[in-house]
Structure 1
Amino acid sequence: MQLSAIKQSFSVHYEYQLLFTQGVFHSDNPLFSDTIAKYRPKEAVKLFFVIDKGLVDAHPHILKQIKTYCAAYPNQLKHTQSIVLKGGEQSKNSTEAIEAVLKGINDNAICRHSFVIAIGGGALIDMAGYASAIAHRGVKLIRIPTTVLSQNDAAVGVKNSVNIFNKKNFLGTFAPPFAIINDSDFLTTLEQRDWIAGVAEAIKVALIKDKDFFTYISDNALAIKNRDMEVMHYVIYKCAEMHMHHISQGGDPFESGSSRPLDFGHWAAHKMEYMTNYSLRHGEAVAKGIALDVTYAHLLGLITEADMEHILDVMLTIGFDLTLPLSSTAETDELLRGIQEFREHLGGELTITLISGIGIKHDVHTINKALMIQAMEKLNRFSKVNS
């Protein structure tokens, strides 16, 4: 008996929102409670909080605030537990943090109709999101990012991940959050390097998508460096908007293809993070990676020297150190191995996003390694002379 193939196709509709507020856990601010109410308006929902230790250090009353807030909305919110974990990239480098989140989900009977609330920088949110996505095949997640980079990039997408085998984001899931809530109050206590680092992702999307946005960043480079909150609000909003628009309108939200324009500058960034044992912030590494690929694009003849120098000058004015952490041929060779690792991460054909003008992305499928070494040397000379 000949049996014919059974074929099936289906689509799943995803919807999530990015909300903006100040004082998210102030009892007179109903935004958080109202967000939960949109899921289950007639009953209290169990909440398990995962909080970045860096945030607790900067805002020592946050744990009490969360419990007080939940108590103020008892018909909607049921606080189970808050755990505090060390953030930063190291939270993605071992199983301890993942196991702590999974244990909390289990111990507090967090089911698929409960919520994990991840509060912190991009790395902690990435890790907590991954744990949430694999528990019960996915429990609901709300992200409350607390750094510039997480508010404009890391927390607004649909990806979650951790590091293993000395490779960044080797384990991961595509799992959209229920919502993201950006609270600008958390930005006021950031260290200067964290204030600056997240701007790299805004520069990234501006360079590949929006010349006018890059002009805004250029015109306000000193204001950004000097922590002008109004300027930063716009930079975060515009960057997040473009990031989310790319996910919904780019035709490849779960990255089944080989082109990843939002990874502009990231092949080198990921490798430099590992090479420096993650002493570089992700945004700091991305800035160096963007600067390198912009320099390489100039050597390829894709952009003018004037455009290259303008881009690098803007980044230096904001406060980025663009010097590549290379002190030997062996380290240069190791960085270049990041190209192949990036191809493996993408899958399929090697695709590196460059630019052929400010606001114009340009994909290439091969890298001239000799020319890339020249770009490394040229960037380091430029950075040292102009810093």
Structure 2
Amino acid sequence: MEYIQQNFNVNFSYGVFFSSNLFDPANTCLSSFLESKAEPAFQKKLLVILDGGVVAHHTNLPQQITSYLQTVRGFQLAPEIITISGGESVKNDLPLLFSLVDAIDKYGIDRHSYVIGIGGGSLLDLVGFAAAVSHRGVKHIRIPTTVLSQNDSGVGVKNGVNYKGKKNFLGSFAPPAAVFNDAVFLTTLDTRDWRSGMVEAVKVALIKDAPFFTWMEEKAVTLTAGDMPAMKELIYRCAALHMQHIGGGGDPFESGSSRPLDFGHWSAHKLEQLTNFELRHGEAVSIGIALDSVYSFLLGWIDESAMQRILTVLKNMQLPIWHPLLEMQDGKPSPVIVGLEEFREHLGGQLTISLLRAIGKGEEVHHIDLDLLYKAVTICKNNQ
């Protein structure tokens, strides 16, 4: 038998920049990055895809973007800034996905050029996927505009859209060329998006950083009330922990079944779907964190004091810790809990759920005791 083995590594590198008033002419954060990538022999192109919800609060933004990017040396801005709606619904719209691919084609965005997505996590997921499947991978830049996208989804390597009711069924691992977090966009978020975005910081602290969790305990009330300096610190620390995990020698493209950063997410994904995404992602994750933390307590892994600390932080952030869909429905199993098999399928291979050995220390299991899980549901309900 003849046999040839091929092995190679691909190095990915990208930065997350923290700034304010990104498109102010005096702010060179974005322009300096782009000009560092310019080529003397030819002009590269830029295509901007913008969240309409952001424009509603920042009405001069398209004009500011145009004025700013037209002055960047070595780049040509596409004649159209594409504005689309944000929110989870855009990830359910396959014609919209292909319209973005058509725009990449129409404006000649090649593999040397950049697609710039500006918006919340759902829009960035969609734009990143459209870029990833065009020309086998066009470079994309993310400018997240929500707490959730600035501290979690926007700084990672995943992109995707929903398909047949399954979250992120179609997707790619395509790291961004860079991420630019602009704190000004946070000033116009509604209270639900402000609060729900914090839960990913709770998640990553619970599995990786006990002192960070203690800091959030102390700051939860003022964070919820809109303390911007505290929020900027939360976003920075949360983003740093996520990036350390992705680049820390683990499994950045998730080729295995281990997903520690999915703590609290197995039920959250199903809750989002079952509520037609009326629950924000962060709200669903808050419920999932509460459920898995209580389950960890029932296993004897964490004590009651630790469990109550977790529930109290979530409640002080004015986030939910229970939903009726967690309970049995007319004697039938909870539709959320039935979703465990879908989560296993999403992971590939065996079921792998992250639980807590202690605040700051996650551990994975491959089996869930359904009787204990329903007990955890009841405890969450009674602690609302």
Once the two structures are TM-superposed, the CA of residue 125 in structure 1 deviates from its matched residue by: 0.2
Quote the Cα distance in structure 1 between the aligned partners of 2:74 and 2:349: 50
The within-5 A match list for 1:66-81 is 66-81=65-80
Matches within 5 A, 1:301-316: 301-316=300-315
Report 1:225-240 matches (<5 A): 225-240=224-239
State the shift of 1:29 in Å: 1.1
Shift of the alpha carbon at 1:328?
A: 5.8
Q: Deviations over 1:32-84 (max 9, x none)?
A: 11111222253542111111111011111111111111233354453432111
CA distance in 2, matches of 1:241, 1:291: 24
Cα distance in 1, alignment partners of residues 235 and 327 from structure 2: 37
Q: Once superposed, what is the RMSD of the aligned Cα atoms?
A: 1.3
The 1-side partners of 2:360 and 2:35 are apart by 40
8 Å contact 1:56–1:62 — kept in the other structure? yes
- How much has 1:227 moved relative to structure 2? 0.8
**Is 2:209 the partner of 1:220?**
no
Partner of 1:338: 339
Partner-residue secondary structure (3-state), 1:72? coil
> Shift of residue 327 of structure 1?
7.8
User: What letter matches 2:252 in structure 1?
Assistant: P
- Give the 3 Å change call, closer, same or farther, for CA 88–372 of structure 1 in structure 2: same
Partner of 1:296 in structure 2? 295
Tell me how far apart the structure 2 counterparts of residues 122 and 147 of structure 1 sit (CA, whole Å).
8
1:123-175 alpha-carbon deviations (Å, 9 max, x no partner): 11001101110000010000000000000001101100100111101111001
Aligned to 1:131: 130
Which stretch shows the higher mean deviation, 226-235 or 41-50? Answer: 41-50
62-71 vs 197-206, greater mean Cα deviation:
62-71
* Most deviating of 280-289 and 63-72: 63-72
Aligned residue for 1:319, secondary structure, equals coil
For residue 36 of structure 2, the aligned residue among 10, 35, 38 is: 38
Tell me, yes or no, if the aligned pair for 2:271 and 2:325 is still in contact at 8 Å.
no
- Taking a change above 3 Å as real, the CA distance of residues 6 and 327 of structure 1, as seen in their structure-2 partners, is closer
Partners of 1:79 and 1:202 lie apart in 2 by: 36
Contact 2:321 2:380 (C-alpha < 8 Å) held by counterparts: yes
Structure 1 residues 11-30: aligned runs within 5 Å: 11-30=9-28
Q: How does 1:1-387 map to 2 (within 5 A)?
A: 3-42=1-40, 44-326=43-325, 329-330=328-329, 332-383=333-384
Q: CA deviation at 1:250?
A: 3.9
CA contact (8 A) 1:47 1:81 kept: no
Q: 1:326 is paired with a residue of what secondary structure?
A: helix
In the alignment, structure 2 segments of 5+ residues that lack a partner are none
Partner Cα distance (1:72, 1:124) in 2? 26
Range with greater deviation from structure 2 (234-243 or 314-323): 314-323
TM-score after normalising by structure 2:
0.96
Contact 1:33–1:77 (Cα < 8 Å) also in 2: no
Distance 1:124 1:52 in 2: 7
Structure 1 alignment gaps of length 5 or more: none
1:329: Cα distance to partner?
A: 2.2
User: Could you list the per-position Cα deviations for residues 323-381 of structure 1 after superposition, in whole angstroms to 9, with x for gaps in the alignment?
Assistant: 21328623852111221111111111111000011001011110001111111111011
CA offsets 1:93-142 (integer angstroms, 9 cap, x no match): 12122122111101111111111000000011001101110000010000
C-alpha separation in 1, matches of 2:76 and 2:29: 12
Which stretch shows the higher mean deviation, 152-161 or 244-253? 244-253
Q: Quick one: which amino acid aligns to residue 217 of structure 1?
A: M
